[in-house]
């Protein structure tokens, strides 16, 4: 009996200590807080990392993409068997959840980020969340993959549309008929280089709360795309940006329009590498730094390797 009590106590302590060990190892494995000057990753794709310490620790990842570069082509998560009806949950599923690095590996793109908001979603702990990789999901707002509409548009969710070597952001959630790839986001941050009325009101409502962000921004003719990803929810490492700060950031880059995509624990930037894809930022899933969240939609880019 005494031995059984000791066993129970041991299991209890193990259950209490294991999450701390996992969290500690994740914290220690994060890359150093060091800036990275702009450097080409692939033809037409340049990456940089900014480090700021005021008004709080911040790590900002910026991907500068030339949509006119030879061989560069966007690609969005394909549909779930072209959408499939689930007789148990009485739903029509649109995509299959993947971590962004899994999407890079499976589709052969050279770079990818998370894109649309999605549902169903649950995040309680590392052992209690949904969706898991391979589980079906649905998207919020418009999603088009290789010309196939996976999720219809919604006027409350703005769209990022990719045409031939060009992109545009529409605040009404629509795209031109010949659009081959499209994703959707929450708020249009900039129009004609200036903060929108919507984002200015949202800035007041959110009252300066820092957060992890994924943002897509375009120049005036839609041939240059910036992907801005901000790590957050990690005290003393990167606590995130406020909505006002991230709006100012993309404005300072020279963007004409900008769209907030899904952020928070979904914020992920991954690239093709050997022997497996590399995650360039530090996502946080279930409050554990470095853990990637499976998401229902990713935006990737095929690109040519750099010249020798």
* pTM attached to this predicted model: 0.92
Place of tokens 């008929």: 177
User: Can you tell me the mean pLDDT for 212-238?
Assistant: 98
Indicate if the pLDDT at residue 112 is higher than 70: yes
CA distances from 139 to 103, 114, 165, 167 (A): 16, 12, 25, 20
pLDDT of residue 87: 72
| Secondary structure class of 159 (helix, strand, coil) | strand
Q: What is the CA radius of gyration of the chain?
A: 20
Indicate if the pLDDT at residue 8 is higher than 80: no
Give the domain ranges of the chain: 1-30, 33-302
Q: Which of 73-87, 148-162, 229-243 has the lowest mean pLDDT?
A: 73-87
Which is higher by pLDDT, 14 or 104? Answer: 104
pLDDT of residue 281: 98
pLDDT of residue 302: 98
Confidence of residue 16 (pLDDT cuts 50, 70, 90): low
Contact at 8 Å (CB) between 33 and 284? Answer: no
pLDDT of residue 26: 75
User: Can you tell me the mean pLDDT for 257-286?
Assistant: 97
Average confidence score pLDDT of the chain:
93
pLDDT of residue 19: 59
pLDDT of residue 27: 82
pLDDT of residue 15: 58
User: Can you tell me the mean pLDDT for 282-296?
Assistant: 97
Exposed/middle/buried for residue 85 (C-beta within 10 Å: 0-12, 13-18, 19+): exposed
Confidence of residue 6 (pLDDT cuts 50, 70, 90): low
pLDDT of residue 193: 98
pLDDT tens sequence across 123-143: 999 999 999 999 999 999 999
User: Can you tell me the mean pLDDT for 235-244?
Assistant: 97
Distance CA 255, CA 250 (A): 6
Indicate if the pLDDT at residue 14 is higher than 60: no
Residue 144 belongs to what H/E stretch? strand 143-145
Confidence of residue 270 (pLDDT cuts 50, 70, 90): very high
Distance CA 249, CA 50 (A): 11
Distance CA 296, CA 14 (A): 34
Find the DSSP H helices in the chain: 2-28, 100-107, 197-206, 243-253
Confidence of residue 298 (pLDDT cuts 50, 70, 90): very high
Which residue from 301, 29, 299 is spatially nearest to 165, judged by alpha carbons?
301
Distance CA 42, CA 18 (A): 40
pLDDT of residue 29: 83
Contact at 8 Å (CB) between 180 and 163? Answer: yes
Instruction: Find the Cα–Cα–Cα–Cα dihedral 67, 71, 77, 82, rounded to 10°.
Output: 120
pLDDT of residue 207: 86
pLDDT of residue 120: 95
pLDDT tens sequence across 172-209: 999 999 999 999 999 999 999 999 999 999 999 988 99
Exposed/middle/buried for residue 19 (C-beta within 10 Å: 0-12, 13-18, 19+): middle
pLDDT of residue 18: 54
């Amino acid at each position: 009996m005494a031995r059984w009590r000791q066993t129970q106590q041991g299991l209890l302590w193990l259950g209490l200590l294991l999450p701390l060990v996992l969290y500690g190892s994740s914290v220690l494995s994060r890359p150093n807080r060091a800036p990275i000057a702009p450097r080409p990753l692939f033809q037409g794709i340049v990456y940089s990392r900014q480090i700021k310490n005021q008004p709080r620790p911040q790590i900002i990842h910026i991907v500068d993409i030339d949509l006119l570069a030879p061989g560069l082509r966007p690609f969005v998560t394909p549909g779930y068997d072209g959408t499939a009806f689930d007789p148990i949950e009485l739903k029509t599923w649109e995509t299959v959840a993947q971590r962004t690095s899994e999407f890079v590996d499976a589709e052969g793109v050279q770079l990818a980020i998370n894109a649309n908001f999605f549902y169903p979603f649950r995040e309680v702990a590392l052992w209690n969340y949904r969706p898991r990789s391979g589980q079906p999901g649905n998207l919020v707002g418009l999603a088009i993959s290789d010309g196939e509409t996976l999720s219809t548009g919604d006027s409350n969710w703005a769209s990022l549309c990719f045409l031939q070597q060009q992109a545009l952001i529409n605040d009404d959630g629509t795209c031109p008929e010949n659009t081959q790839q499209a994703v959707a986001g929450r708020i249009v941050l900039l129009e004609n280089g200036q903060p929108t009325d919507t984002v200015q009101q949202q800035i007041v409502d959110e009252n300066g709360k820092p957060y992890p962000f994924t943002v897509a921004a375009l120049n005036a003719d839609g041939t240059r795309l910036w992907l801005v990803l901000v790590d957050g929810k990690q005290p003393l490492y990167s606590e995130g940006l406020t909505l006002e700060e991230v709006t100012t950031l993309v404005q300072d880059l020279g963007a004409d329009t900008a769209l907030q995509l899904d952020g928070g624990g979904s914020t992920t930037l991954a690239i093709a590498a050997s022997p497996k894809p590399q995650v360039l930022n530090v996502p946080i899933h279930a409050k554990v730094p470095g853990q990637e969240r499976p998401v229902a939609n990713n935006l990737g880019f095929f690109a040519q390797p750099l010249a020798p």
